[in-house]
Amino acid sequence: MRALLVVNPAATTTSARTRDVLIHALASEMKLEAVTTEYRGHARDLGRQAADSGEIDLVVALGGDGTVNEVVNGLLHNGPDLNRLPSLAVVPGGSTNVFARALGLPNDAVEATGAILDALANRTERTVGLGLAAGTPGTEDESVPERWFTFCAGLGFDAGVVGRVEQQRERGKRSTHALYVRQVVRQFLEEPHRRHGLMTLETPGQEPVTGLALSIISNTAPWTYLGNRPMFASPKAGFDTGLDVLGLKRLSTSAVARYGTQLLTSSPDKGPRGKHAVSLHDLTNFTLHSKAPLPFQMDGDHLGVRTSVTFTGVRRALRVIV
């Protein structure tokens, strides 16, 4: 098997020594080329080259969810093709590793590598669906290029939190769960639209949902983790269905306390609920419009602000070794 290993040297939870051990373990079982990323977007470029070469059977992403997202977008730059494109394997090296954990992989890089090698030996893989977001035709964002996401996207409040975390990391702060919690509080205190939502969700054949102050789009469950605690924004979401949406129409102090508690105590059977909560399951196409530009994130990567985004749930988009 010919494989490309894409290594993020800034991965939060793997040392240089650990990465060397993983590289040797993988190289003992396949013809492996390991490349260390050198700039933002490099993993995407490497994934694209692997897709276009016709010579690579497997791309292994060693890093966090951002690295995985870049590799996936490189692999799928011309769209899904299960018969032609390389398979993907993920070795978790970030602080949260939602995609890898949603696939059932251990959250330890060494253990995950062992699981991947076992899967390769047993020739087991899974075909997963992905989300695709693009600028909406006829809006000021129509020229925004489409981009794939593996587990979640968000327009509004949660994306604002992601943007704040990225700012802190650029200032030298470590990506910890405590850092995220602090930025949630700051985003809440400074959120100008938390009482009257600006977003409208439009789904073909359905009545529009108006007045959303928060929107979380899930491709799988859980939505994220706080330490080892999974948080289920849309418990029914999965890699074998379309996209799920959790929308909240009010972010008052009492509402945030209530829905925050529900997220912390959520489970595969129970997510946030209440008169200001909107839950939609297994959507193939929908659009979010906002009356003003709002922060936008995909797979935990802040992508600036948007006023309109069109989402597509694409089933059977990628083969994953697991």
**pLDDT tens across 221-264, in order?**
999 998 889 999 999 999 999 999 999 998 888 888 899 999 99
Whether 28 has a pLDDT exceeding 70, the answer reads: yes
Q: Give φ, ψ of 132 to 5 degrees.
A: -130, 130
Question: Burial code of 86-98, b = ≥16 C-beta within 10 A, e = fewer?
Answer: bbbbbbbbbbbbb
Identify any residues that bridge with 314 across adjacent strands, giving them in sequence order: 130
Close Cβ partners of 113 (under 8 Å, ≥ 6 residues apart):
22, 25, 26, 91
Give the separation between CA 26 and CA 270, rounded to whole angstroms: 39
| pLDDT average, residue stretch 89-97 | 94
pLDDT class of 138 with cuts at 50, 70, 90: very high
* Closest C-alpha among 124, 48, 112, 119 to residue 86: 48
pLDDT for position 195: 67
pTM of the prediction? Answer: 0.93
Give the separation between CA 8 and CA 43, rounded to whole angstroms: 8
First to last CA, the chain: 16
- Biggest CA–CA distance in the chain, Å, is 57
With residue 189 as reference, give the H or E element that holds it.
helix 177-190
CA torsion sign, 156 to 161 to 162 to 166?
positive
Angle at 43 between CA 40 and CA 46, to 5 degrees: 130
Contact by Cβ (8 Å): 51, 78: yes
Contact by Cβ (8 Å): 247, 209: yes
Q: Which tokens sit at 169?
A: 């990391």
Q: Which tokens sit at 27?
A: 């190289």
- H helical segments located in 34-176: 42-53, 65-75, 98-102, 109-122, 157-170
pLDDT for position 194: 66
pLDDT class of 182 with cuts at 50, 70, 90: confident
Number of residues written out for the chain:
322
Give the separation between CA 224 and CA 220, rounded to whole angstroms: 10
pLDDT for position 180: 78
Identify any residues that bridge with 231 across adjacent strands, giving them in sequence order: 224
Question: Burial code of 203-227, b = ≥16 C-beta within 10 A, e = fewer?
Answer: beeeeebebbbbbbbbbbbbbbbee
Neighbours of 143 (CB within 10 A): 9
